Amino acid sequence: MPAAPLPVRDGLNPTRLRLPADDTCTTVLDYLLARFPEDADRLREKVDAAEVVITDGTAVTRETPYRANTFVFLYRDPPAEPRVPFEVEVLYRDDDLLVVDKPHFLSSTPRGRHVVESALVRLRRDLDLPDLTPAHRLDRVTAGVLMFTIRPEVRRDYQELFAHRRVRKEYEAIAPFDPTLTLPATVRSRIVKPEGELRCVEVPGEPNAQTRIELIAARAGLGRYRLVPDTGRMHQLRVHLNSLGIPIVGDNFYPTLYDIAPDDYSSPLQLLARSLSFTDPRSGRPRVFTSGRQLAAWP
């Protein structure tokens, strides 16, 4: 995958496009106008300003011929987004790492309709860290400890910690208390996400997801749970607690899918990435980072 010849601008990476086999386009601009017709005027302005380039940094002009499989890079204008009214708190920073306490409702990285309003873009802009890159991710609706690398030279070292499961992750969740459950317990199952579906499901077969679940305390019909995942399947913690009959408070996916307005922040999912711990791959020192947030359902 070619490196982008354009730098991060205003917290955002340039968009990379690979020109497909196409017999109808004679120029690169023809293709861009067909691909993004709603941005036609701005695309012409960007081409005229030499803000659209190919892999070697050569600027695309209005006459640049179309060549299939060429990579084209350009800046898309970010959509107007309402600000998520919660702040990212910095837990730790050095030359290599930035560790933050992410709030609920803020995406980790640009995705879908959440582009500017993501932790990555906010932090790049606010801290002037254009090379900031996530070492892992949290769901938009999950709060807690989120780690980024600051320098490209160290990115691989820390991302591989997560890829090879050398990071201990602890989560907390608030869910109904069921006195008939025997805890602690380890839940193992096979979780898949059917194509075109929003929710994940458990299916028969070799387990690909494992979570240790412990009860920390119980009161007023609710339990406070410690969750230690050994794997990182999509929605794993939510699916596993739901499978025990104790779905997480505020979960609008499990057991029942229902819509929440984009600007409704009244009932956050009661799931918190409480801590990350690992042996630093560069220094060999133990590292532990802990969230200072509290879940609202357990004041």
Does one domain contain both 158 and 43?
no
Please state the domain count of the chain: 2
Q: What is the pLDDT of residues 172-218, one digit of tens each?
A: 999 999 999 999 999 999 999 999 999 999 999 999 999 999 999 99
What's the CATH number where 26 sits? 3.10.290
CA–CA dist 135, 5 (Å, integer): 22
Instruction: Please report the sign of the dihedral spanned by the C-alpha atoms of residue 98, residue 104, residue 108, residue 110.
Output: negative
**Residues annotated as part of the active site:** 139
Same domain, 164 and 126: yes
CA neighbor of 229 nearest in space, from 171, 182, 286: 171
Please count the CA atoms within 13 angstroms of the CA of 53 that sit on its side-chain side: 16
* Predicted pLDDT at 4: 82
Same domain membership, residue 119 and residue 258 = yes
Domain boundary among 31, 50, 74: 74
Chosen domain end from 28, 44, 74: 74
Instruction: Encode pLDDT of 107-130 as tens digits.
Output: 999 988 888 999 999 999 999 999
Considering 51, 74, 97, which residue would you say is the last residue of a domain? Answer: 74
- The answer on 60 and 96 residing in a single domain is no
pTM assigned to the model: 0.90
Say whether pLDDT at 1 is over 70. Answer: no
Q: Looking at the structure, tell me whether residues 96 and 62 fall in a common domain.
A: no
Task: Verify that 133 and 39 share a domain, yes or no.
Answer: no
DSSP string, 199-262: S-EEESSS--EEEEEEEEEEETTEEEEEEEESS--TTHHHHHHHHTT-PPTT-SSSSS-----T
| Residue 60 and residue 103 in one domain | no
Domain interval for residue 22 = 15-74
Q: What average pLDDT does the chain have?
A: 95
55: nearest Cα among 79, 31, 28: 28
Tell whether 4 is covered by a domain: no
Give domain status of residue 7, yes or no. no
Inter-residue contact 98 to 148 (CB < 8 Å): yes
Residue 79 belongs to a domain: no
Q: According to the model, what pLDDT value does residue 76 have?
A: 87
Claim to verify: residue 70 and residue 93 sit in the same structural domain: no
Residue 23 has pLDDT above 80, yes or no: no
213 and 263 part of one domain: yes
Cα-Cα end-to-end distance for the chain: 48
265-293 mean pLDDT: 97
Residue 21 in tokens: 């086999």
